[in-house]
């Protein structure tokens, strides 16, 4: 069919922006390569699925799909507030933490404002800031770790927001407790400091700051977390932010009225009850992370020290080539070239069998 021409252009802020490229879906690889067994270790998903308690909650909500959900997910917000020892007014529930990032930039970034972030980090910070006409200020990582001193030095009169991803995606690194505390204390209080803790529950290292209690003493501090990772609810799209109640009020004006669905709200609330499942996921992830890093080191290569559910492997060759070769062996990882570090790949921690299959295929590819 012929496409008709028109002369309507999108806002200039969208010029040059790309569409987010997620990890390659299993179905797509199956179609393209005709392989039977495909292991996806590309999107930092939970290989153990999600809690059975959540499954029951989802099933009972299915009966009520004809009815809109509660717009602010008050039951979940109350439960989180209790667990986190904050007030429910300090919590906003989002359609994934992705939505909360967008609500924050939509509500607070004005044209020309600067937002400081690491280079490289989760790409949605940069995209959302650009959509609002803001200027992302990228501060290079120091050996895979946020350069907090460098980020402080990048503050200008135009700085409106700072993003710290801790653990950082894609390197998996964390910043030290004292260092982050001192950073939080030094960021001027007219700048919004957003700490993205999507991988918080996977951290086993002691030198990791629990930032939520600091929201009470630092009104400019915002902490984001998600049910997509350790809780295994990525497809339901649900995450949360902890912040000063004034910010929650503003973001509520901007969010869609029914931004999270019934099943997501119920599943997330139920998941909070099942601490055994979370402990199991954390333990198995830690074992998998250690196994992958150790095996990679035996091959004479190295990884960034990860506290997430993924490991970034440093190669002496193009990440694209290794990604393609692994794909032909039925293993989907992410090439570092799409993540900003071309000579790396990022592999999500899978089940024990999946991790072993990855290591075997990786060994064949690099040796």
By CB under 6 A, name the binding residues for ligand PLP: 44, 96-98, 122, 165, 169, 196, 198, 226, 228, 234, 239
**Residue number, 201 or 356, with CB nearest to ligand PLP:** 201
Give the pairing type, strands 192-196 and 159-165: parallel
In whole angstroms, the minimum distance from the beta carbon of 103 to ligand PLP comes to 12
Nearest approach, Cβ of residue 260 and ligand PLP (Å):
11
Q: Which is nearer to ligand PLP, 97 or 173 (CB)?
A: 97
Number of other residues whose CB lies within 10 A of the CB of residue 168:
26
Q: Are residues 162 and 188 in contact, defined by beta-carbon separation less than 8 angstroms?
A: no
Q: Which is nearer to ligand PLP, 348 or 361 (CB)?
A: 348
272 three-state secondary structure: coil
Question: Any residues with CB less than 8 A from the CB of 196 and at least 6 apart, and which?
Answer: 97, 101, 122, 125, 163, 164, 165, 166, 224
Task: Read off the DSSP letter of residue 89.
Answer: G
For ligand PLP, which is the closer residue by CB, 130 or 334? 334
Nearer to ligand PLP, 234 or 278 (CB): 234
Work out the number of other CB atoms within 10 angstroms of the CB of residue 81. 17
**What gap in Å lies between CA 320 and CA 310, rounded to an integer?**
18
Of residues 44 and 307, the one with the C-beta less far from ligand PLP: 44
Under 8 Å between Cβ of 108 and 161 = yes
Query: Would you say 164 or 361 has its CB closer to ligand PLP?
Result: 164
For residue 197, the minimal CB distance to ligand PLP (Å) is 8
Separation between Cα atoms, residue 159 and residue 192, nearest integer Å: 9
Locus of tokens 């609330």: 269
What is the rounded distance in angstroms from the CA atom of residue 64 to the CA atom of residue 6?
43
User: Which CB atom, from 144 or from 239, has the smaller least distance to ligand PLP?
Assistant: 239
Cβ-closest position to ligand PLP: 96
Question: Minimal distance in Å, beta carbon 310 to ligand PLP?
Answer: 9
Phi/psi class of residue 259: alpha, beta or left (left: φ > 0; alpha: ψ in -120 to 50)? Answer: alpha
Q: Cβ-count burial of 11 within 10 angstroms (0-12 exposed, 13-18 middle, 19+ buried)?
A: exposed
Nearer to ligand PLP, 333 or 361 (CB): 333
How near is the Cβ of 279 to ligand PLP at its closest, in Å?
A: 21
Closest approach of ligand PLP to the CB of residue 254, in Å: 17
Q: In what helix (H) or strand (E) does residue 55 lie, and over which residues does it extend?
A: helix 52-62
Nearer to ligand PLP, 196 or 295 (CB): 196
Tokens describing residue 239: 């995450």
CB of 239 to ligand PLP, least distance (A): 4
- Alpha-carbon torsion (45, 51, 55, 57), positive or negative: negative
**Going by DSSP bridges, is the β-strand pair 310-314/344-348 parallel, antiparallel, or unpaired?**
antiparallel
CB of 7 to ligand PLP, least distance (A): 35
DSSP symbols for 160-176:
EEEEEESSPTTT-----
Distance between CA atoms of 157 and 114, rounded to whole angstroms? Answer: 9
């Amino acid at each position: 069919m012929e496409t008709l021409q028109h002369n309507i252009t999108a806002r200039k802020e969208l010029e040059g922006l790309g569409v987010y490229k997620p990890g390659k879906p299993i179905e797509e690889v199956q179609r393209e390569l005709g392989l039977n067994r495909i292991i996806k270790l590309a999107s930092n998903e939970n290989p153990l699925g999600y809690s059975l308690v959540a499954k029951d909650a989802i099933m009972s909500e299915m009966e009520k799909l004809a009815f809109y959900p509660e717009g602010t997910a008050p039951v979940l917000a109350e439960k989180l507030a209790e667990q986190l020892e904050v007030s429910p007014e300090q919590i906003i529930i989002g359609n994934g933490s992705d939505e909360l990032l967008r609500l924050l930039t939509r509500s607070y970034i004005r044209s020309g404002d600067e937002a400081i972030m690491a280079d490289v980090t989760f790409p949605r910070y940069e995209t959302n800031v650009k959509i609002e006409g803001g200027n992302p200020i990228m501060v290079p990582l120091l050996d895979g770790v946020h350069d907090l001193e460098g980020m402080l030095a990048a503050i200008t009169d135009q700085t409106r927001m700072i993003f710290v991803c801790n653990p950082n995606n894609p390197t998996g690194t964390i910043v030290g407790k004292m260092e982050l505390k001192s950073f939080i204390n030094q960021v001027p209080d007219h700048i919004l400091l957003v700490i993205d803790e999507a991988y918080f529950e996977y951290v086993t290292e002691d030198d990791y700051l629990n930032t939520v209690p600091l929201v009470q003493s630092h009104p400019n501090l915002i902490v984001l977390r998600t049910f997509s990772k350790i809780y295994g609810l990525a497809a339901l799209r649900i995450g949360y932010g902890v912040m000063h109640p004034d910010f929650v009020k503003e973001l509520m004006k901007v969010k869609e009225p029914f931004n999270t669905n019934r099943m997501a709200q119920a599943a997330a609330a139920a998941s909070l009850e099942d601490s055994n499942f979370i402990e199991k996921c954390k333990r198995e992830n830690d074992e998998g992370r250690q196994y992958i890093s150790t095996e990679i080191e035996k091959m004479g290569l190295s990884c960034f020290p990860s506290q997430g559910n993924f490991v970034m492997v440093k190669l002496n060759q193009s990440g694209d080539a290794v990604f393609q070769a692994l794909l032909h062996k039925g293993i989907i990882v992410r090439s570092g070239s799409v993540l900003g570090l071309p000579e790396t790949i990022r592999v999500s921690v899978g089940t024990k069998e999946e991790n072993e299959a990855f290591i075997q295929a990786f060994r064949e590819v690099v040796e």
